[in-house]
Structure 1
Amino acid sequence: FMANGSAKGAAMVTAVAQRLASQRKEIDDTLATFTLSTTQLQEVKAKMRVELERGLKKDTHPTASVKMLPTYVYRTPDGTERGKYLALDLGGTNFRVLVVKIRTGMRNSVRMYNKIYAIPLEIMQGTGEELFDHIVQCISDFLDYMGMKNTRLPLGFTFSFPCNQTGIDKGDLVSWTKGFKATDCEGYDVVDMLREAIKRRNEFDLDIVAIVNDTVGTMMTCAYEDPKCQIGLIAGTGSNVCYMEEMKNIELVEGDEGQMCVNTEWGGFGANDNIEDIRTRYDREVDGGSLNPGKQRFEKMTSGMYLGEIVRQILIDLTKRGLLFRGRITERLKTKGIFETKFLSQIESDRLALLQVRSILQSLGLDSTCDDSIIVKEVCGAVSRRAAQLCGAGMAAVVDKIRENRGLDHLEITVGVDGTLYKLHPHFSTILKDTVRELAPNCKVDFILSEDGSGKGAALITAVARQHMQEQIDKYLYAMRFSDETLRDIMARFRREMENGLGGDTNPTATVKMLPTFVRSIPDGSEKGDFIALDLGGSNFRILRVKVSHEKKQTVQMESQIYETPEDIIHGSGSRLFDHVAECLGDFMEKQKIKDKKLPVGFTFSFPCAHSKLDEAVLLTWTKRFKASGVEGMDVVKLLNKAIKKRGVSDYDADIMAVVNDTVGTMMTCGFDDQRCEVGIIIGTGTNACYMEELRHIDMVEGDEGRMCINTEWGAFGDDGTLEDIRTEFDREIDRGSLNPGKQLFEKMVSGMYMGELVRLILVKMAKEGLLFEGRITPELLTKGKFETKHVSAIEKSKEGLTKAKEILTRLGVEPSEDDCIAVQHVCAIVSFRSANLIAATLGAILTRLKDNKNSPRLRTTVGIDGSLYKMHPQYSRRLHKTVRRLVPESDVRFLLSESGSGKGAAMVTAWASRLADQTRQIAETLAEFRLTKEQLLEVKKRMRTEIQNGLSKNTQSTATVKMLPTYVRSTPDGTGKRFTARPTQCIFLKIGKDGQ
C-alpha cells in the first residue's frame, strides 16, 4: 500500500513538473518573440538605413516610412548666443512654458524660469481651436506670473509631432501621435494656428521665430554643453531621432553647402511592412487598439506610451492560458492603459524585491504569487529590452551614415538624450549603448543626458536661427559694416577735405566747400526784438514770427505756419519759386496783422551758397530734389527781394538782414540755450554740418582775429572718389537714379532722403536671390520710393518693430514670414547704423579740429542737432553718440536737440545782425558830430587865413587868436655846411588862442 502511495506521489510530482515545464516553455516561447538576435538587429539597422536614404531623396520621399523632415536648423550652438527668449514645449499631457535667458559668450550660462500646465484629455481630443486657445491661455497666465505681458519676446515652439517644415517658422502637422487627436489640425501650419489664437485672445504679442520638435530641442540643449553633440534622441512617451545631415544629401531643400538638422520621425519606420518579421501579435493588438492603426509602428514597439500596454496584452494572454494569476483576469487588467510604463521601470529595478513587485501587482487588483511576480518581471524585461535594442539598431544606422557622409574610418560623436524611458528605466540606457557599440564598431558614441529638457533647446534654436539669419545678411552686406579703424580712416580723409576747403589755393577743387557764413558769434543772451524767419529746405516751407523779450528773463515766443511747395514749383523756374515764397510771406504777415511793419527777416535757405556777407548768398547747386531753373549762380536774397517788390509797395516790405542754411540755424537755435554750442548738424532729408572756425584759418575771408561759422556742405564729401572703396553697388544704383548723378555722394549714403530707397534696393536683390519672401517680388516692391525712410524708423522700434515690418511689407504686396520680418529689420539696422557711423566719423573730424584749434587736452563742447532721421529713428541718436565717444575719447560732447527748428536760429542770426546794425548806428550817431563836410572845412580854412593876417598885423596882433610870434630864426639849413647869410625872412611861431572860432 505504501509502495503504491509513493509511486502515485512520484507520478503526481512528475505531472506537476511536466506541467510547470510546459508552462515555462509556453512563457519562454511567448517571450522569445521579443528576443532579437544580432542578425535580426543587423537587418533592422540595414532596413533603417535604406529608409533614411529613401526619406532624403525627392523621388522616394513620398513613400518612405522614415520621413527625414528638414528642420531649417543649420547649425548647433557655438556658445556666442545671447538674449531672452520664450519657449513652449508641447508633446504630451503636460505643456511647459519657459523664459530662457542666455548670457553671451559663456557656456553653462543659461537661466530658466518655467511653469507646467496640464492638457486635459477632452482638450487633447477636442478641436484644434480649443487646443490652441488653451495653450494661449497658459501662455497668458505665465506672462502675467512673470510680469512680461508687455514684452514682445522671440519665441521658440517645441512641438513634438511630425511636421512638414518649409521654413524654420512654418510647420504643417503631418499627423497626431501620443494620444493627441485634436480636429482640424492635420495638414495645417501649427504656427499659424498659434498666431491666430494669440490674436483671438488679444492680450499680448509674440515673435514666433522657430518651431522644432523635442528631438531637435534636445540635440540643441546638449550641443550647448558639448559641441560634439550632433544627434538628438527621445526615448520617452514617444521615440524619435534627429541628426545633422549634409545639405547635399537633402534633396527636398535647395543648396549643397553646409549641414541641416533632419528630423527622422523614425517612429513611422515599418509602415511599409518591412519589420513585420519582428512584430508580435501583441504589437498588432496594441496597434489595432490605438488612435492611429497602421501608423507609427516602430514607435509603438519602442516608446514609453505603448510598452506598458504591450505588457498588459501579454499578461492577459498568459492569464487566459492559465499561466498567470491562477487564470483569473480582473476587470482592472482588462482596462486599457492601466499598466503604465513606469511600472516596467519599477518592476525591473534590481533594488526591488519580489515582494514589492507583488505589491505593485496587487495595486492593480492582481492576486499574484512569487512565481507570478517572477514571470511579470521577465515579461517587462523582454519588452523593454527589445525596445532598447531596436532604438540601438536605429541609432547604429544613423551614426554609420554620418561616418560615411564625412568619409571617416572612425567617428567620434555625442548623442543628446531625453525622455523618461531613458532616464528612469534601470537597464534601457545600458542595453541601448551596448547595441550601438555592437552594431557600429567604427563609431565611438557618447550619450549625454539633457537635464533641462527640449524647452531650453527651443530657445537655443531661436537664438541660433536669429544669429544664422543675421550672419547671412551680414555676409551679404559686409561692405556696410565698418570697424573703428575704418571709421578713423574716414575721419582722416574728411579732415584733409576740410583743410582743402579752407585753403585759398585748394578751395576751388575741394569737394567739401567750407563756405564762410559771416556769422561771427553765437547768441550771447542780449538779443531782443520782433523778427520774421523763413525756412526753405524741403517740400514744406515754414514761416515764423519770433519775439525775443527781456522782461524778467529772456523769453522767446514763436508762431509759425507751414506752406506746401508743390513739385511743379520745385522743378519749375526760379521766378515761380521765389514768387511762391513771397506770396506765402505776404499771407503770413496778413494773418499776423503786420503788413504795415517792416520787420527784420532771417532766411534759412538750406542749400549750398557762397556768401560775401551775411545778407548775400549765391546758390552753388541745388540738392534735395530741388531743380528750379535760373537760380544756381544767383544771389537768392536779390531774387526774393525782386519777388517781394513785384507785389508792389502797397502790399508789404521786408528787410532781409541775414541768409543762413538750416545747419547754421540749428547751431544758433541751440546756442541760444547753451552758449557752449559751436557745432550744428542736420540729419534729416539731407545732411550737413557747420562749426565755429578760427578766422586765421579761413583764407577766403580777410582778418585773423575772432571766429566765423563755416558751413561745411559735407554732403558732397566723396564726389572726387575719396569714398569709392566704401560705396556699395546699392549706393551706385541710388546715385544713377538721382536728379544729380555724381554729386552729393556722402549725402546719398547717409541721409533720410535716400535711406528707405537703399533698403528697398537691398530687399529686391535679396528676394531675387531667394534670401527673402521665398523669392517673390511684387510690383510695389519694385517701385522707386515705395519704401520710405519713416518705414525704416518704424521697423527698428524695439517692441513693435516686427509687427510694423509685417504691416509695411504686407502693404507692399509681400506676405512675409516671421523670418522675413526679422531679416528686413536687420537690413534696416545695418543701413541706418552705417549712416550713424559715417556721420560719427565726419563729426569726429570736426571735433578733433576744434580741439586742435583750442590747443586743449580735452574738448568740452555742445553739438546742436536737428533733422527727422535723428529725431524719429528709435536707435539712431544712441548709435551716433556711442560711436562719437569711441572715435573722439578726449572729448565731453553734449548733444542738444533743436526743439524749435532752424527757423528760430535764423531769427537769432537776424537778431544778432540787427543788434550789430543797431550798435553800428549808435556809434555812427555818436561820431557824427566829429564828421566835417567840405563846406565846413573850407570855412575853417577861411577863418584860419583871417586869423593869420590878424596875428601878423601890429594893430590887431593883441586881439588875434593866432598870435604869429617871431622866433628870430631867419633861414632854414641849405645843406652846404657854410655860414649862412641872413635873408630878409623870419620864422614865425603860431600860437592859436581860444576865441570860439
Structure 2
Amino acid sequence: MEQFIQQFDCDVTKMHDVSHHMLQTMKSGLAGKGGSLMMIPSFTDTPSGNESGVFLAVDFGGTNLRCLLIKTELNTIRNKVQRSMVLDPKIPTGEILFSTIASFIVEFLEENKSFLEPRPEVLPVGFTFSFPIQQTSIASGKLIMWTKEFVASGVVGKDVVELLHAELAKRKYEWVKVVALCNDTVGTLCASTTEHPTAKIGVILGTGSNACYQERMEAITKINQEGASSSSSSSSEAASKKMIINMEWGGYDGFPSTPEDDEVNHMTRKQGQQRLEKMVSGRYLPMLVRVCMNKCIRCGWILNCFDQEKIGVWDKNEELSLIEIGKVEHDRSPNMDMARSFIIRFCEDKSLDKNAIPLHEVVLIRSLFHAIVVRSARYAAVAISTLIQHIVTTGEQLEELTVAIDGSVYHKHIGYKEELHASVDKCCKSLMMGPTPPEVHVVGTQDGSGLGAAIIAAVQVAH
C-alpha cells in the first residue's frame, strides 16, 4: 500500500513540463484556438478606487447562493448585510433554478428595506455566476456548460442575466438590474485590490477550482474573433489596456493522473472534462478518497481483520466530506481512536470492533488521505506559479505581486494553505522569472466573490 500512496506524491520543482504545457495552452486560449483552458474575457479590470454607492451582489457558487447589500465610498465598504442559502446541484430545470434565485433576492431585499431607503430607481447588481460563461460584454453571458455536478436543463447556451431578469420581472422587481456579470475568481481579485493593490491573480479553491489574472489587451487576440469589439467595453479596461481573464483552469488536463483519478472521472457527469478540478477541489476529493479506500480494501491491503461482506462498499452512501478527511489526516492521538471510529462509520456493519484494526493500517489510511490532499495543494501551487511566470515574463516589471485566494478548501482544511504557500515558493524559485523576479505574496480573502461583484457593478455605474 505504501507504493500505492506514493503515486500521489509530486515534486513541484520537477514539474517544468506541466508549466510549459500550461503556458502554451494559455496562449492558445487567448488566441481562440481551443484547448483545455477557455481563457474567457471578463470585460472588466480591477477597480480604480473612486467607486461609491449602494449595490447588490448576487453570488451563485458551487454550494451556496448568497446576497449582499453593500454601501461603498471611494472603493471602501462602509456597510453591508448578507444572507445565504444552500442550492442543490440536482435542481432539474433552469426555470426552477432561476425562480429560486429570484425569490431569494426578493426575500432578502424585503428583509432589508431600511438599507435601501429611499429606494433607488435602479439597484445595480453584480452577479457572480461561477460556471463557464461565454461573455460578449460586461453584463451578458451564455452558459457554456455546467460544472460541479449541476444538471439544470434549459440553461446551457442561454444568457444567464436575461434568465434572472425575466424571473425578477415576474415579481415586479425590474428595478433590480444586473450591470456586471462576473466569475467568482474575478470577484475575488477585484475585492482583494482594496487591501492589496499589487493583486494580479485571483484563485478559488473550494467546491470547485478556478483562477483569473490581469492580462494585456493586446494579447487577447480572440476578442474580435468572438464578435466582441473593444467598443463593447469602453470602460476602465480599455483605458488601462488591461482586462481580467477568467481562465477556467479546472478544465486543464496537463497534470499527471492516476487510475483512481480516471475512475473518478468516469463517475462524473462531465467525463473527460474538468480534469484539474477533479484532482484539487472540494467536490471531488472525497470521491477520490472513496475510490482509493475501496481499492485498498479489495486488494487486501487494509481491514483484513473483518469479513469483506461486513465491510461492504466503503462509504456506499457517499456521505464522506472533506471536513472528515481532515480530521483523520490530523489525528495524532496515540491509538487514533477518532480515525478508527471514522473508518468503521463508513462500513456496511457499523458494529465492527474498531480496536481490531491494526494501528499500522490506520496510519497508512491517514497517510493516504494526507497524500491526496497534499497533491491537491501542490497541483494548485504549480498552476499558480505558472500564471505568475506568465505575468512576469510577458508584462510590466513588478516589484511585488499578490495572489488572492478564497474557498473552503483553502480556508478550512487544516494545513492546506501552509502546504500551498510553501509549494508556490518552491515552484517559483525553480521557474525562470527573469533577472529581477517580484516578491510574491499569497493571501487569503473572505467573501471575495460577492464583494468583488458589487465592486465591479460600482465600476460600471461610475463609467
Task: Give me the TM-score of the superposition, normalised by structure 2.
Answer: 0.87
Contact 1:219 1:232 in 2 (8 A): yes
Tell me the alpha carbon deviations over residues 722-768 of structure 1, each in whole angstroms, 9 at most, x when there is no partner.
xxxxxxxxxxxxxxxxxxxxxxxxxxxxxxxxxxxxxxxxxxxxxxx
Other-structure match for 2:391: 402
Match of 2:407 among 405, 411, 419: 419
Match of 2:43 among 72, 87, 90: 72
Other-structure match for 1:736: none
Aligned AA (1:284): D
Tell me the alpha carbon deviations over residues 122-152 of structure 1, each in whole angstroms, 9 at most, x when there is no partner.
42xx111111011111111111111259543
Other-structure match for 2:57: 87
Match of 1:138 among 67, 87, 104: 104
SS at 1:322 equivalent: coil
2 CA distance for matches of 1:181 and 1:268? 18
2 CA distance for matches of 1:382 and 1:174? 33
The answer to whether structure 1 residue 363 and structure 2 residue 357 are counterparts is no
The answer to whether structure 1 residue 46 and structure 2 residue 12 are counterparts is no
Contact 1:437 1:443 in 2 (8 A): no
Aligned AA (1:118): V
1 CA distance for matches of 2:158 and 2:14? 39
Other-structure match for 2:81: 113
Q: How does 1:241-390 map to 2 (within 5 A)?
A: 241-253=211-223, 254=229, 258-270=241-253, 274-275=254-255, 278-326=256-304, 328=308, 330-331=311-312, 333-335=314-316, 337-349=318-330, 354-365=336-347, 367=352, 368=354, 369=357, 370-390=359-379
Aligned AA (1:220): C
1 CA distance for matches of 2:391 and 2:133? 23
Match of 1:456 among 433, 451, 454: 451
Give the Å deviation of 1:54: 1.0
Contact 1:308 1:343 in 2 (8 A): no
Structure 1 136/331 Cα, relative in aligned 2: closer, same or farther at 3 Å?
A: farther
Task: Give me the TM-score of the superposition, normalised by structure 1.
Answer: 0.41
The answer to whether structure 1 residue 433 and structure 2 residue 416 are counterparts is no
Aligned AA (2:320): F
SS at 2:57 equivalent: strand
1 CA distance for matches of 2:170 and 2:47? 35
Match of 1:156 among 126, 132, 135: 126
SS at 2:59 equivalent: strand
1 CA distance for matches of 2:57 and 2:12? 42
Larger radius of gyration: 1
Contact 2:315 2:346 in 1 (8 A): no
Contact 1:399 1:443 in 2 (8 A): no
- Count of aligned residue pairs for this structure pair: 428
Structure 1 144/414 Cα, relative in aligned 2: closer, same or farther at 3 Å?
A: same
Give the Å deviation of 1:392: 0.7
SS at 1:417 equivalent: strand
SS at 1:297 equivalent: coil
2 CA distance for matches of 1:223 and 1:309? 35
SS at 2:314 equivalent: helix
2 CA distance for matches of 1:382 and 1:391? 14
Give the Å deviation of 1:449: 1.3
2 CA distance for matches of 1:457 and 1:345? 29
Q: Which runs of 5+ in 1 are unaligned?
A: 1-26, 471-997
Other-structure match for 2:235: none
Structure 1 449/310 Cα, relative in aligned 2: closer, same or farther at 3 Å?
A: same
Give the Å deviation of 1:439: 2.0
Other-structure match for 2:433: none
SS at 1:440 equivalent: helix
Tell me the alpha carbon deviations over residues 422-480 of structure 1, each in whole angstroms, 9 at most, x when there is no partner.
1112222122222221222234221221123311111011112222xx2xxxxxxxxxx
SS at 2:273 equivalent: coil
Q: How does 1:888-899 map to 2 (within 5 A)?
A: none
Identity of aligned residues (%): 31
SS at 1:224 equivalent: coil
Contact 1:217 1:456 in 2 (8 A): yes
Give the Å deviation of 1:121: 4.8
Other-structure match for 1:129: 95
Aligned AA (1:374): V
1 CA distance for matches of 2:276 and 2:106? 37
SS at 2:194 equivalent: helix
Structure 1 122/262 Cα, relative in aligned 2: closer, same or farther at 3 Å?
A: closer
2 CA distance for matches of 1:252 and 1:295? 22
Aligned AA (1:393): V
RMSD, aligned CA = 2.1
Tell me the alpha carbon deviations over residues 203-241 of structure 1, each in whole angstroms, 9 at most, x when there is no partner.
453121111111111111111111111210101111111
Aligned AA (1:466): V
Aligned AA (1:380): F
Contact 1:400 1:443 in 2 (8 A): no
Structure 1 351/419 Cα, relative in aligned 2: closer, same or farther at 3 Å?
A: farther
Other-structure match for 2:179: 209
1 CA distance for matches of 2:54 and 2:186? 20
1 CA distance for matches of 2:313 and 2:210? 31
Give the Å deviation of 1:118: 2.5
Structure 1 224/38 Cα, relative in aligned 2: closer, same or farther at 3 Å?
A: closer
Aligned AA (2:330): S
2 CA distance for matches of 1:242 and 1:38? 21
Structure 1 382/227 Cα, relative in aligned 2: closer, same or farther at 3 Å?
A: same
Contact 1:170 1:211 in 2 (8 A): yes
Tell me the alpha carbon deviations over residues 680-715 of structure 1, each in whole angstroms, 9 at most, x when there is no partner.
xxxxxxxxxxxxxxxxxxxxxxxxxxxxxxxxxxxx
Structure 1 207/363 Cα, relative in aligned 2: closer, same or farther at 3 Å?
A: same
Contact 2:203 2:403 in 1 (8 A): yes
2 CA distance for matches of 1:203 and 1:110? 25
Structure 1 239/379 Cα, relative in aligned 2: closer, same or farther at 3 Å?
A: same
Give the Å deviation of 1:283: 0.5
1 CA distance for matches of 2:3 and 2:438? 35
Contact 1:346 1:352 in 2 (8 A): no
2 CA distance for matches of 1:165 and 1:443? 32
2 CA distance for matches of 1:429 and 1:50? 28
Give the Å deviation of 1:104: 2.9
2 CA distance for matches of 1:460 and 1:377? 43
Match of 1:218 among 183, 188, 196: 188
1 CA distance for matches of 2:251 and 2:428? 23
Q: Mean Cα displacement is larger for which, 354-363 or 84-93?
A: 354-363
Contact 1:88 1:95 in 2 (8 A): yes
SS at 1:175 equivalent: coil
Q: Which runs of 5+ in 2 are unaligned?
A: 224-228, 231-237, 430-436
Structure 1 355/51 Cα, relative in aligned 2: closer, same or farther at 3 Å?
A: same
Higher relative contact order (CA 8 A, sep 6+): 2
Structure 1 53/308 Cα, relative in aligned 2: closer, same or farther at 3 Å?
A: same
Give the Å deviation of 1:364: 2.7
Aligned AA (1:268): G
Structure 1 164/336 Cα, relative in aligned 2: closer, same or farther at 3 Å?
A: farther
SS at 1:305 equivalent: coil
2 CA distance for matches of 1:351 and 1:445? 33
Contact 1:237 1:421 in 2 (8 A): yes
Give the Å deviation of 1:41: 2.0
Give the Å deviation of 1:342: 1.7
Contact 2:60 2:128 in 1 (8 A): yes
SS at 1:188 equivalent: coil
2 CA distance for matches of 1:110 and 1:415? 25
